[in-house]
């Protein structure tokens, strides 16, 4: 059986979008309010789909510093799964510019501090990510999926360099995350979520970036994905 992405899902999205939009429009949006709504949205989505969540490694993450969280990407369900499990109190995601054009939703995303990435060219994409560097100074972590798109079969795709440039240029450690099973909850190209699917999330150790090359970091993160992503 499946849970249609209709009333129930739209209602959960509206619960975070409407108040966030109104507070943004009125200049009253506080970071802690956005954090709370994102976490509650994630928890409700997981509960509604009865996802069988197995989380490993999160208790070893020090939360008084910022990270560039990097995960593989299997499904739109990665978003609530990660917002329910990432140990850092404030995490904002990097997302394509097209979503910022959606009425109400785009304004709410911008107000909450989500990061627009312009994929029309490599240089624009890197410039977009550099603008995210200001987030780290205020204690915010950033989540990015370096594959850039969802994998339809769980295979790890080529990693893009933008997020690695962001980490190196700001001196922010990379925290790799391996997600398994979300593609069975909501496969790419579908609009129904399956119930009772096991999903596993593994948090790796932070990777310090000082003195590292982009290529060596990409290789290490890619190897982490290959070693830890599996059908569960």
pLDDT in tens, 101-117: 555 555 666 666 777 77
Q: Among residues of the chain, what percentage have pLDDT more than 90? A: 49
Residue 35 has what pLDDT?
Answer: 87
* Nearest one of 132, 133, 183 to 157, comparing CA atoms: 183
CATH fold for domain 2-228: Glycerol-3-phosphate (1)-acyltransferase (3.40.1130)
Write down the mean pLDDT value for the chain.
84
73 versus 16: which is more confidently predicted?
73
Give residues with Cβ within 8 angstroms of 36, minimum separation 6.
none
* Secondary element (H or E) of residue 185: helix 182-185
The separation between CA 79 and the C-alpha centre of its own chain, rounded to angstroms, equals: 5
Residue 141 has what pLDDT?
Answer: 94
Residue 209 has what pLDDT?
Answer: 98
Residue 37 has what pLDDT?
Answer: 83
139 has a pLDDT exceeding 80: yes
Weakest mean pLDDT among 18-22, 85-89, 121-125: 18-22
Helix 122-130 to helix 162-170 angle, to the nearest 10 degrees?
A: 40
163-177: average pLDDT: 94
């Amino acid at each position: 059986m499946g849970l249609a992405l209709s009333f129930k899902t739209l209602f959960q999205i509206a619960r975070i979008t409407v108040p966030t939009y109104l507070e943004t429009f009125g200049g009253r949006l506080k970071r802690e309010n956005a954090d709370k709504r994102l976490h509650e949205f994630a928890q409700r989505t997981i509960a509604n789909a009865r996802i069988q969540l197995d989380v490993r490694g999160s208790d070893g993450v020090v939360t008084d510093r910022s990270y560039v969280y990097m995960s593989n990407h299997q499904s739109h369900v990665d978003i609530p799964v990660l917002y329910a499990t990432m140990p850092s109190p404030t995490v904002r995601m990097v997302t394509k510019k097209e979503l910022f054009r959606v009425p109400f939703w785009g304004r709410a995303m911008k107000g909450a501090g989500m990061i627009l990435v312009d994929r029309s060219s490599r240089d624009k994409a890197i410039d977009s990510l550099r603008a995210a560097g200001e987030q780290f100074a205020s204690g915010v972590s950033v989540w990015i999926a370096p594959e850039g798109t969802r994998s339809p079969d769980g295979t790890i795709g080529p990693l893009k360099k933008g997020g690695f440039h962001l980490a190196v240029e700001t001196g922010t450690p990379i925290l790799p995350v391996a997600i398994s099973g979300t593609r069975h909850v909501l496969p790419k190209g579908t609009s129904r979520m399956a119930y009772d699917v096991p999903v596993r999330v593994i948090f790796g150790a932070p990777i310090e970036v000082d003195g590292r090359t982009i290529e060596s970091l990409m290789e290490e993160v890619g190897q982490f994905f290959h070693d830890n992503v599996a059908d569960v």
